[in-house]
Amino acid sequence: MTISIGDTVQVKYNSGKYIGEVVEDRGDRILVKTMAVQKHPKQGDLHNLGQVDGVFFHERKALAHYEKMNVVRSAARLFDEEVPGYSESLRTAIDELKKTLTKKDTEYNQMALENLKNLEEHDYTKSYYR
């Protein structure tokens, strides 16, 4: 599989999953411009998933529309479907994560939901939810 500048790809990046356009070839890496969010990044400490005691509970935002990410070429897959709009894809990704987190009432899930609520109110509303 050859990935070239201008191709639309799907990549996993920092616990999120995105659709983007390859804008630069960097040898074993490629620079990808974010076009849509497929999976919102996980909240909390990625090295101690599900834990809340004695860890720093990170709030992770999804990459912004057109934000660029430097990814290992082998982590990219060609994407040949229609690319959804960024705002719509972000909303869908957040809703999916919320649905997963509300299935089980744990302290971790409650904190992760609180992070998502904070992101929606203070970060995403300003830029993407219209």
User: pLDDT in tens for each of the 130 residues of the chain?
Assistant: 689 999 999 999 988 999 999 999 999 999 999 999 999 998 876 666 665 666 567 678 999 999 999 999 999 999 999 999 999 999 999 999 999 999 999 888 888 888 888 888 877 866 555 4
Determine, yes or no, domain membership for 2: no
Q: How far apart are the C-alpha atoms of 119 and 107, rounded to whole Å?
A: 19
Determine, yes or no, domain membership for 78: yes
Determine, yes or no, domain membership for 113: yes
Q: With b meaning 16 or more CB within 10 Å and e meaning fewer, what string describes 11-27?
A: bebeebbbbbbbeeeee
| Number of domains forming the structure of the chain | 1
- Secondary structure class of 82 (helix, strand, coil): coil
Decide if 112 contacts 60 (C-beta within 8 A): no
Q: Which of 50, 57, 68 is nearest to 11 (CA)?
A: 68
Q: Which domain holds residue 19?
A: 8-127
- What is the side-by-side strand order in the sheet with 16-26? 68-72, 29-39, 16-26, 8-13, 76-78
Determine, yes or no, domain membership for 3: no
Q: How far apart are the C-alpha atoms of 10 and 35, rounded to whole Å?
A: 10
Its pTM stands at 0.86
Determine, yes or no, domain membership for 17: yes
CATH number of the domain where residue 23 is located: 2.30.30.430
